[in-house]
Amino acid sequence: MRITVRVAAVQAEPSWLRLSDGVEQVVELIETAATRGARLIAFPEAFLPGYPWWRWIDTNQWNVEYSTRCRENSMTRDGAEMRAITETAAAHGIHVVLGFGERQDRRIYLSQAVIDDSGELLSVRRKAGLNSVERKIFASGTPNLPAVHHTPIGKYGALSGQENQRPLLTRALRADEEQIHVAAWPASPEGDVPGPDSSATVCRMYALEVGAYVLAPTAVVGEAAWGGMPRPRTTGPTGRARIYGADGSEVVTSLDEGAQGILYADLDIGAATADPPCESPRATRKDRTPATARRNARRAATGWQSGPDRWALPMTIRAYPGGTAAC
């Protein structure tokens, strides 16, 4: 069955290291998107309290101070700040994917929360694969496979940053026939970019590999991100959210780079459910069963776990015959 779903990808500057202001900003953005008819809104990685770009500045005393502020302004998954966000989602009937710094005791995790339109916190996933700078601030999460959430607006999942180019994670989402994918990015100051427009390249490849729409929210990094210290390199405006179709093309014109706002698109979900364009070279004759049988087998194997961390797939997916990172 084909359905049309309006989605929203945030392109905005966070309220750097000010948690209460950041929660108000998130609530306002959710309300704005819902008013425009969006059923799903996606936020950048670590939007609360802002991705720690200041860690690229090699000033130890200053980094200690801001690391402390980062911990103090991160939120818990069950605190008043998260309740305010889930209540807003419920009040406006909108799904929310939010990147945030999650505080637990003295540790901080790079986490991603998925909230449904009734305000239920479906999952909180802690990023496990951290880069060298992230490891100086954040603790590594458990390397579980990500979830695909089966909802009335379609089957959607989410990953953060460089996770979007890890075959083990992307294959897990493809195995459960993901239709909408949130690839959350923290923006791309020159100090962290592995190549020109690398996040856009990753998103296009993801769309082609998985055959899903891709929402790529990103933060805008202004002077406030550096806390008054000089940037490590001279850069122009940063942050450009995009929304891609399953063929890797942009389905809507993006906002100007560095502008703040919300990018909207109406997605034809039925158009993103085609079988993958090619089979894995590892597939055997025994594996080449009808698509319906494969889908039923995968659904039967889906194992939801109870508790605050829920995953839609068991840890082993070797019975799935479809797709590799490059077809």
pLDDT reported for residue 15: 96
- Give 313 or 89, the one with higher predicted confidence: 89
313 in any annotated domain: no
* Range with lowest mean pLDDT among 15-24, 131-140, 212-221, 243-252: 131-140
In this prediction, residues 57-83 reach a mean pLDDT of 84
* Range with lowest mean pLDDT among 2-6, 288-292, 317-321: 317-321
Q: Are strands 154-160 and 180-184 parallel, antiparallel or unpaired?
A: parallel
Q: Which residues contact 297 (CB under 8 A, 6 or more apart)?
A: 289, 319
In this prediction, residues 90-112 reach a mean pLDDT of 97
Task: Tell me how far apart the 2 most distant CA atoms of the chain are, in Å.
Answer: 62
**What is the tens place of the pLDDT at every residue in 194-224?**
555 788 999 999 999 999 999 999 999 887 7
321 in any annotated domain: no
Domain of residue 135, CATH code: 3.60.110.10
- Contact indicator for 317, 177 with CB cutoff of 8 Å: no
What does the block give as tokens for 77?
């998954």
Helix (H, G, I), strand (E, B) or coil at 265: strand
What does the block give as tokens for 37?
């008819």
322 in any annotated domain: no
Of the CA atoms within 13 Å of residue 188, those in its CB half-sphere come to 20
- Give 143 or 159, the one with higher predicted confidence: 159
Q: What is the pTM of this model?
A: 0.81
- How many domains is the chain partitioned into structurally? 1
Residue 184: domain span: 4-301
319 in any annotated domain: no
212 in any annotated domain: yes
Nearest to 239 by CA among 50, 35, 98, 69: 50
Nearest to 55 by CA among 17, 7, 26, 11: 17
- Give 287 or 243, the one with higher predicted confidence: 243
Q: What string of DSSP letters covers 88-146?
A: HHHHHT-EEEEEEEEEETTEEEEEEEEE-TTS-EEEEEE-----TTGGGT-B----PPP
40 in any annotated domain: yes
Cα-based distances in Å from 82 to 34, 122, 267: 18, 13, 28
310 in any annotated domain: no
- Contact indicator for 263, 241 with CB cutoff of 8 Å: yes
